[in-house]
Amino acid sequence: MPPTLLSGNESVAQGAWEAGAVVGVGYPGTPSTETLESFARLPDVYAEWAPNEKVALEVAAGVSMGGSRVLVTMKHVGVNVAADPLFTLAYTGVKGGVVILAADDPGMHSSQNEQDSRNWGPFARVPVLEPSDSGEARELTLRAFELSERFDVPVILRTSTRIAHSKGLVETGERAERPATPYESDPAKWLMLPANARLRREFLEERMSALRVFADETDINRVEMRDTTLGVVTSGVCYQYVREAIPEASVFKVALSFPLPAAALARFASSVRRLMVVEEGDHYLARSIRALGIDVEDVGLPKTGELSPGKIATAFGHEPGPTRAPVEGLPARPPLMCPGCPHRSVFYALRKMKAVVTGDIGCYTLGATPPLSAMDSCVCMGASIGMAHGVRLSGGDTGRRPVVGVIGDSTFAHSGITGLTHMAYNSGAGTILILDNRITAMTGHQGNPMMGQTLMGNETVEIDVEKLCEALGIEDVTVVDPHDLDRTEAVLREKTAEENLSVIVFRSPCALLLRTEEQPVAVDEDACTACGLCIRLGCPAIGTGEGGVAVIDVSLCVGCGDCVQVCRFDAIRPVGPVCDIGGV
Amino acid sequence: MTAPTTVMLAGVGGQGTILAADVLAKVAAAAGLDVKLSEVHGMAQRGGSVDTVVRFGESVASPITDPGGADHLVAFEMIEAARRIPFLKPDGRLLVNTRLIEPLPVLIGAADMPEDLEARLAEQGAIFIDAEELACEAGSEKAANIVLMGALSTGLQFPEEAWHGVIATRVPPKTVETNLRAFELGRQACRKGECLL
């Protein structure tokens, strides 16, 4: 079969499938998301979205204890959430192989921080593998399952955006079927009471010793000897950059990033005149190699963001090639809420109210950007609720500005429910807005426990938020259609004026989900007074024409009707036949 | 070993750069070349600036490129063409869709549109194509990305049939005819100009 063009994510899915994994479980997060979606499309497997990464890894632990191989997928910050089971799963080890994909996002294309997931290796004492392209992503996933079972340990497969979302040609193979084995209880291995855990703690060290021996013997890492003046240790996508930037250098290509092969690295160091490390993220390799007693010179590469062949070539003293001068005076093009987005009107109202808004992770974080500019914080999944509560506890005087926590449906299911439980339990006051757009939107439309569809495409139950709030002891719950702008603002003003804990659920499907039959709208130039109110919605379909009058791009307008309601001069009307504005 | 060819596709999230890049990469692969492609998903895609890089040749290491590294820059929108100009080699080929999408800072009056954009791009040697109009002529505005691949194809070594084969398998079945027409119109438009290499 000719090689197939696959992304790193698709290659990990392919590798897991070939390895005979029967279950995949994870939580969507850029750049990891398509891995589980690809896996779910392969034959003879089953895959699930979990509400969060911790649950995903716990499910995986069960699959493993039951004897089958399992793939777990998440982005770098997801591993923080899964860290609790991860550390103890390192104690229990596995029965069926467990491979955890941790996809890092250097440069923060779609993340709130940069984290280097290789650090989990020494922290949790689990092996870490790092592919450098799609072909290796498949191959190392297969190797990761072997390692997992051979050394009785969960294995982290660490990728980054340029591995996950780059495509390359991959030679694929057949699936190795692994028949399920009869279940046998093994509490000494799986039941981590202190007495058992202490024994497994000893095993952890024995296993590390065995892994260190393996690291020096395996062919997973590779040495490419060229000019011996310069030796470079590198891993992941940086290996590809090094090959282009300094093709003359000898290279120690690390694929098993933890544990590192001490003897092999020492041999390489002694065979080159200068030893340097090229890596993105933390100086993980440089630090670890120095800890082995091997001298590494500092290259002086940027400490933040992504590297590139050019950045590396420059650091090694190569003259950059000729370039064209940048074109000056270009407007920035930040990401924005889509036309018809149900989140827009909520932030439009919050801005008018000058609310203190603790935000969360999702498309609605874009409510922070002009012209809506209605968000004060965004920290991590679920933080909006705890932070709204905390701002009130701080005693800091927000004046007349109400404190509001804003969280999306999937994020609420991920880690908002615990925050809301906390607020209710501790008699907190404030208003929590759940923006329920019936999908996990930012990562490309995945199902979640709030919307009634599973990853395998089956219909399922959905969380009844109103009843859930009631069960938590919250009596004040209101459901609002955010495309009804008057009611949106009225309910927000009413609820935030009260000294209690209230929840407002703004429920309307993501604009990209709707095959809208609404008519686009247009501006009557004679009626428009150029007041600029509709512009403040920040809709990409609305711009300004001559004399400041509003102009609507009918090719972008989806007829949501938000601007029609904002206009005080009845200057925005449907194009063509009358339509039912506002209803969803 | 000859250096790989680097094509950068620049546009606005939602314009179809990813599918176009995928078509190009598969055409290169069908020709027996090594190929790598790099794109960005997630928040960056929500109507923001996006660029996708396709590199092909005997052997390709890096999936991304640096300023001065692209042999071809195919811009789906004029501001994005200007933004990515530094990536194009001084002797590289610049294809620009005449579409202009005002970014949000301009729409809300926080930034101005650049003046004389078309003239400044022309100074850079741009070959202009009205991809949306040609796509409409082919049957659907959505095929604008394939129009641009047709234009790009006149500067690459791959046979026309190879493109047809990939397009036919990569676009939704009902739109194959439209997309093949769009590809041909993009090719013709480019041939009419002085852009044949």
Give the domain CATH number at A295: 3.40.50.920
Length in residues, chain B: 197
Cβ contacts of A43 within 8 Å, gap of 6 or more: none
- Closest chain A CA to residue B15: A556
Instruction: Mark yes or no for CB contact B65/A323 under 8 Å.
Output: no
Mean pLDDT across the stretch A101-120? 96
Residues A211 and A231 in one domain: no
- Confidence band, pLDDT 50/70/90 cuts, at residue A584: very low
Residues A156-179: tens digit of each pLDDT: 999 999 999 999 999 999 999 988
Of A233, A105, A212, A84, nearest to A158 (Cα)?
Answer: A105
Would you say A74 and A115 are in contact if contact means Cβ atoms under 8 Å apart? no
Residue A582 scores a pLDDT above 60: no
Residue A104, chain B, CB below 8 Å: the answer is no
- Chain A contact present for B43, CB below 8 A: yes
| A208 and A226 inside one domain | no
Minimum distance, in Å, between the CA of residue A243 and any CA atom of chain B? 7
* pLDDT of A115 higher than 70: yes
Does residue A577 carry a pLDDT above 60? no
Shortest distance, CA A363 to any CA of chain B (angstroms): 7
Q: Report residue A299: phi and psi, to 5°.
A: -80, -30
HSE-CB for A157 with a 13 A CA cutoff: 38
Would you tell me how many other CB atoms lie within 10 Å of the CB of residue A303? 9
Whether B194 shows a pLDDT value over 70: the answer reads no
Asked if A155 and A274 sit in the same domain, the reply is no
CA end-to-end distance (rounded Å), chain A: 48
Q: What is the CATH number of the domain that holds A133?
A: 3.40.50.970
CATH class held by domain B5-192: alpha beta
Angle at A98 (CA atoms; ends A238, A12), nearest 5 degrees: 40
**Chain segment B87-110, per-residue pLDDT in tens:** 999 999 999 999 999 999 999 999
pLDDT at B14: 84
Distance CA A67, CA A334 (A): 47
Q: pLDDT tens for residues A488-522?
A: 999 999 999 999 999 999 999 999 887 666 789 99
String of b and e for A276-292 (b: at least 16 CB within 10 Å)? Answer: bbbbbbebbbbebbeee
Give the count of domains, chain A.
4
* A contacts of B38 (beta carbons < 8 Å): 162, 165-167
Q: How many residues does chain A have?
A: 584
B108 vs A169, A325, A370: nearest CB: A370
Segment B24-51 shows an average pLDDT of 88
- Measure A325 CA to nearest chain B CA, in Å: 6
Spell out the residues 6+ positions from residue A471 whose beta carbon is closer than 8 angstroms to its own. Answer: none
Return residues 84-103 of B near A (CB < 8 Å). Answer: 85-86, 88-90, 102-103
Domains of chain B, residue spans: 5-192
Q: Which of A315, A332, A356 is the last residue of a domain?
A: A315
| Residue A525: domain span | 521-574
Same domain, A226 and A372: no
A166 chain-B contacts, CB cut-off 8 A: 36-39, 63-64
Residues 6+ apart with CB under 8 A from A295: A269, A275
Do A117 and A11 have their domain in common?
yes
CA distance B89 to chain A (A): 6
B138-189 pLDDT, tens digit per residue, is 999 999 999 999 999 999 999 999 999 999 999 999 999 999 999 999 999 9
Provide the pLDDT for residue A514.
78
Of the partner residues A309, A329, A442, the one whose CB lies closest to the CB of residue B62 = A309
Count the helices and strands in chain B (H runs, E runs): 8, 6
Which pLDDT belongs to residue A576?
59
Q: Note whether A98 and A206 are same-domain residues.
A: yes
pTM of the model: 0.96
Beta strands per DSSP E along chain B: 5-12, 34-38, 49-57, 70-75, 88-97, 127-129
Residue A99, classed as helix, strand or coil, is strand
Q: Is residue A81 part of a domain?
A: yes
- Residues 60-79 of chain B with CB under 8 A from chain A are 60-69, 79
**Is residue B70 predicted with pLDDT exceeding 90?**
yes
Q: Is residue A329 part of a domain?
A: no
Tell me what pLDDT residue B196 has. 40
Does A63 map to a domain?
A: yes
Residues A231 and A204 both lie in one domain: no
Residues of chain B with C-beta less than 8 angstroms from the C-beta of A333: 12, 47-49, 79-80, 83, 103-105
**Of A299, A315, A331, which residue is a domain's last?**
A315
Of the candidates A454, A481, A507, which is a domain's last residue? Answer: A507
Rounded-to-integer distance, Cα A179 and Cα A197, Å? 30
Residue A428 above 90 pLDDT? Answer: yes
Q: Which of A34, A326, A337 sits opposite B86 (nearest CB)?
A: A326
